[in-house]
Amino acid sequence: MINFALIGNQNSGKTTLFNQLTGSNQHVGNFPGVTVDRKDGYILGYKDRVITDLPGIYSLSPYTNEEIVTRDFLLDEKVDCIVNILDATNIERNLYLTLQLIELQIPMVLAINMMDEMRTNGGTIKINEFSRAIGVPCVPISAAKNEGIQDLVHEMMRVAVNKIRPEKIDFCAGAVHRCLHGISHMIEDHAVAAGLPRRFAASKLIEGDEPLAKRLNLTQNELEMIEHSVVEMEKECEMDREAAMADMRYCFIENLCRNTVIRPTVSKEYLRSVKIDSILTSKYFAIPAFVLIMGLIFYLTFGPIGTFLSDGFALIIDWIINYISELLIQFEINPVVHSLVVDGIFAGISSVLSFMPVIVVLFFFLSILEDSGYMARVAFIMDRPLRQLGLSGKSFVPMLIGFGCSVPAIMATRTLSSERDRKMTILLTPFMSCTAKVPIYSVFALAFFPNHAAEVMILLYATGIVVGIGFAMILKKTVYKGAPIPFVMELPNYRMPSAKSVLLLMWEKAKDFITRAFTIIFLASIIIWFLQSFDLRFNLVEDSSYSILANIGQIIAPIFAPLGFNDWRAATALITGFSAKEAVVSSLAVLLKTSADQLPTMLSSMFTTASAFSFLLFTLLYTPCVAAIAAVKREMGSVKSTIALIVTQCAIAWIIAFIFYTCASLIL
Ligand code: GDP
Ligand code: MG
C-alpha cells in the first residue's frame, strides 16, 4: 500500500486534480474526531495507491482547524509521498506552504497547476531549473484540462517507491539562519525522540508553536535558551519572530522565482476578474449585487424549480409507500405492523427525504459560487459587520441558507476554518426562521391577522434575527471568548467551475443526506409513531387524542399557561413540531378534528390574538426539528452541547413569548 497526501492552498485546484486522479472511486468521510471533510480515493489503475485530499491551507501553523488536521495527518499517519499542488499564476504565495512542507522531509512532488492559464498569457516556468533550485521534482499540469496528469502519476510513483526526499537546501540567511540552526542542533535529541524532523521542529519553535513545543518535551532550561536566542534574533532583524520567519521564506521565494519564472503578462483572467469585481465588490453595488444573486438562488431553490423537484420526488416516494402498503395488505400483515411501516417509518423518512431535492439544488448553486471564486468575495464583504458579533465573514453564507433550511446551513459551516467560528455559526443558524415554519405563520396570520399577514411575517423573521444577534453577543462574552480568525484569504481570480467537481459534490451531499435519513430519522420516526399510536396501557388508539403523546401534551400544557395558551392540543402540536415544523399545522388539524381549510376558524376559538402571536413567537424560537438537531450533533460532535442548544433555545423562546404576552395583556 502506498499513501499519498494532496496538499495545497485553497482554490489551487486540489479537488479538480483529486477527481482526475481517482475518477470516482472515492470515499468521503471525516477525519477521526473532527468534522473536517476527508476524501480518500484509489488512483485510477492502481488498486493499492491511495490519495487523500486534505483541506486547503496556507501554512502549517496550528491556527485553524484545517491546519491542525493537515499537520497531524502528515506527522502521525504514514504518508509515503506528499503531492503539493501549486497555482502557477500565484506561485509566490503558494510556495510559502511548500517551504514548510520541505522541512518535513517526507518524499514530495510539486504539481504546478493552472499551466494552461499561465501559458496563454505568455508566462512560463523553467521547470528543470526551478526543480533543481527547490530540490523537489516538479511536474507542470493543468488539472481542469487533464494535461500532464499521467506524467504526474508517473513521477509520484517514482518518488514514492524510491523514497526521494526533498534535498536539504538551506533557505535561510543571516540572523534567522544562526538562530534556526542553533536551536535545531540543541533540540536534536528531543526531535528524534518525538519523531519530528529537526529543522521543522526548530522553525515551529521559533514561530511560537505551543502544541509542538509540548510534543518535544523540552526542559525549562532549554525553553529559556530557545527564548533567549529568538529574542536575540528579533533584535537583530528588527522584526518579531513570525515576521522574521515569513520574511526569510519570502526572500528565498523571490530569489527562486526571479530566475526561473517568467511572469505572465497581466492575464486575461486577472483582467476579467478586475472587471467583474469592479461591479460585484464595488462600494455601492456589492450589497445589491449580492442580494440579487442570493435572491435568485433562493428563488430557484425554494421557488418553482425546488418545488417542482420536491413535488416530483414526493410523488415517487408516495408511489413507493402505496405500493409497499398494498403489498403488506395483500399478504395480510398485522395492521399494527402495517401502521408502523407506513405511518411511522416511511412517513418519517419521506418527510425528511422530501427536503433532499432542495438541498441538492442549493448545493449545486453554492458549489458554483464557491468554485467560481465569488464566495471568497462574499466572505470578504461581510467580514467587517460580522466581526462585531464575534463572527467572521465566512459565517454569513451558512446563516443565510438557514432561512431556507437549517440542515444544509449547518452542513455548510464546514467551509469555516476555525472551530470557534464554526460552532458559533452552528448555534446561531436555527434562529434564522426556516421555510418549514411558513405554513404555521400563514395559518395563524389568516386566522388572527388577515389584513396584516405580511407585517406579521416580517416581524417574526426580524425577531429571529434580532434574538440571534443577541445570542451571538452573549456567546461572544461567555462561551466563545476570543476573536474570530483574521481574514487572510486572498481573492482568487474568477474561474469557470468544473462540471465534474460540482456534480460530484452534489452526489456527496445527497448521499450524506440519505445516510442520515435512514439512521437517526428512522429511529425518531419509530418513537413518535409509537407515542402517537398507543395509549398509556399500550393499547392501540383509534383517536390520537388518547395517545401517550396527547398525555404528555396534557402534562406539559401548564408550562405554557403564562404564555397564554394552556391547551393540551397546542402543547401536543409543539411536540410533534420536533419531528418537522410542518407537523405543527397538521397535528393541530388532526387534534382539532378539522380539515385544513377550516383550521383558521377553529383556531380562533382556541387562541386570543395575543396568545396566538405568543404561540408564533414560541414556534419561531424553540428547538429546531430532528433533522436539524441531528445535523448539529454531527457537526458539533458532542451530545452535551446539542442538548444544551435545545434547552437554551426552548428557554429563550419561553422567555420572549412570556415577555410579549405579559406586556400584551397589560396593554390590551
Ligand atoms: P481547491 O479549492 O483547491 O479544491 O480548488 P478547485 O479544484 O475547487 O479549483 C478551483 C477553481 O480552479 C475551479 O473553478 C476549477 O475549475 C479551476 N481550476 C482547477 N484546475 C485548473 C486548471 O488547471 N486550469 C484552469 N484554468 N482552471 C483550473
Ligand atoms: Mg476543494
* DSSP-derived secondary structure letter, 8: E
pLDDT bucket at 351, cuts 50 / 70 / 90: low
Compute the distance from residue 505 Cα to the ligand 2 centre, in Å. 10
Half-sphere exposure of 184 (CA within 13 A, CB side): 17
Give 359-426 as a 3 state SS string: HHHHHHHHHHHHHHCHHHHHHHHHHHHHHCCCCCHHHHHHHHHCCCCHHHHHHHHHHCCCHHHHHHHH
Question: What single-letter amino acid sits at 251?
Answer: C
Determine the Cα–Cα distance for residues 628 and 579; give it in Å rounded to an integer: 10
Compute the distance from residue 270 Cα to the ligand 1 centre, in Å. 15
Residue 164 has pLDDT above 90, yes or no: yes
* The model's pTM: 0.70
Grid coordinates 477521526 are at which residue? 32
Top-ranked range on mean pLDDT: pick from 260-274, 295-309, 591-605: 260-274
Q: Please say whether the beta carbons of 125 and 91 come within 8 A.
A: yes
Dihedral (CA of 354, 358, 363, 368) sign: positive
Which residue has its alpha carbon closest to ligand 1 atom 21? 144
User: Ligand 1: which of 84, 267, 371, 375 to mutate, judged by most atoms within 8 Å of the beta carbon?
Assistant: 371
pLDDT bucket at 29, cuts 50 / 70 / 90: low
Residue partners of 52: CB distance under 8 A and separation at least 6: 3, 4, 5, 6, 38, 39, 40, 73
Q: Is 6 exposed, middle or buried (0-12, 13-18, 19+ CB in 10 A)?
A: buried
User: Ligand 1: which of 11, 113, 152 to mutate, judged by most atoms within 8 Å of the beta carbon?
Assistant: 11
pLDDT bucket at 489, cuts 50 / 70 / 90: low
Q: Any idea which fold 2-162 has?
A: Rossmann fold (3.40.50)
Q: Would you list the DSSP string of 506-532? A: HHHHHHHHHHHIIIIIHHHHHHHHHHH
Q: Please say whether the beta carbons of 1 and 79 come within 8 A.
A: no
pLDDT mean over 461-472 = 91
Chain-centre distance for alpha carbon 28: 14
Residue partners of 50: CB distance under 8 A and separation at least 6: 1, 2, 3, 4, 40, 41, 42, 43
Residue 616 has pLDDT above 60, yes or no: yes
Determine the Cα–Cα distance for residues 526 and 281; give it in Å rounded to an integer: 50
Quick check: helix, strand or coil at residue 225?
helix
Q: Please give the torsion angle defined by the CA atoms of residues 457, 460, 462 and 466, in that order, rounded to the nearest 10 degrees.
A: 180
Determine the Cα–Cα distance for residues 573 and 551; give it in Å rounded to an integer: 12
| pLDDT of amino acid 490 | 64
168-226 tens-digit pLDDT:
888 888 889 999 999 999 999 999 998 889 999 999 999 888 888 888 988 999 999 99
Alpha helices in 238-355, H assignment, sequence order = 241-260, 268-280, 286-302, 304-330, 335-339, 347-353
Residue 501 has pLDDT above 90, yes or no: no
Using DSSP, how many helices (H) and how many strands (E) does the chain show? 33, 9
Residue 431 has pLDDT above 90, yes or no: yes
Dihedral (CA of 325, 331, 336, 337) sign: negative
Which residue has its alpha carbon closest to ligand 1 atom 24? 114
- For 623, list phi and psi in degrees, rounded to 5: -45, 140
Average pLDDT, the chain: 85
538-579 tens-digit pLDDT:
888 877 778 888 889 899 999 999 999 888 889 988 988 888
Residue 111's DSSP bridge partners are 85, 139
Determine the Cα–Cα distance for residues 223 and 232; give it in Å rounded to an integer: 14
User: Ligand 1: which of 87, 269, 498 to mutate, judged by most atoms within 8 Å of the beta carbon?
Assistant: 498
* DSSP-derived secondary structure letter, 144: T
Compute the distance from residue 13 Cα to the ligand 1 centre, in Å. 4
Enter the C-alpha cell of residue 561.
399557561
Compute the distance from residue 367 Cα to the ligand 2 centre, in Å. 10
Dihedral (CA of 265, 268, 269, 270) sign: positive
Residue 112's DSSP bridge partners are 86, 140
pLDDT bucket at 266, cuts 50 / 70 / 90: confident
Which residue has its alpha carbon closest to ligand 1 atom 2? 11
Residue 477 has pLDDT above 80, yes or no: yes
Determine the Cα–Cα distance for residues 359 and 514; give it in Å rounded to an integer: 11
Closest listed ligand to the CA of 85: 1
617-641 tens-digit pLDDT:
999 999 888 889 988 988 888 889 8
Q: What percent of the chain has pLDDT over 90?
A: 31
| pLDDT of amino acid 386 | 83
Pocket of ligand 1, beta carbon within 6 A: 8, 10-16, 56, 113-114, 116-117, 142-145, 371, 495, 497-498, 501
Determine the Cα–Cα distance for residues 8 and 108; give it in Å rounded to an integer: 12
pLDDT mean over 513-524 = 71
| Ligand 1 atom at shortest distance from the alpha carbon of 18 | 7
Which residue has its alpha carbon closest to ligand 1 atom 1? 11
Closest listed ligand to the CA of 147: 1
Residue 242 has pLDDT above 60, yes or no: yes
Compute the distance from residue 169 Cα to the ligand 1 centre, in Å. 30
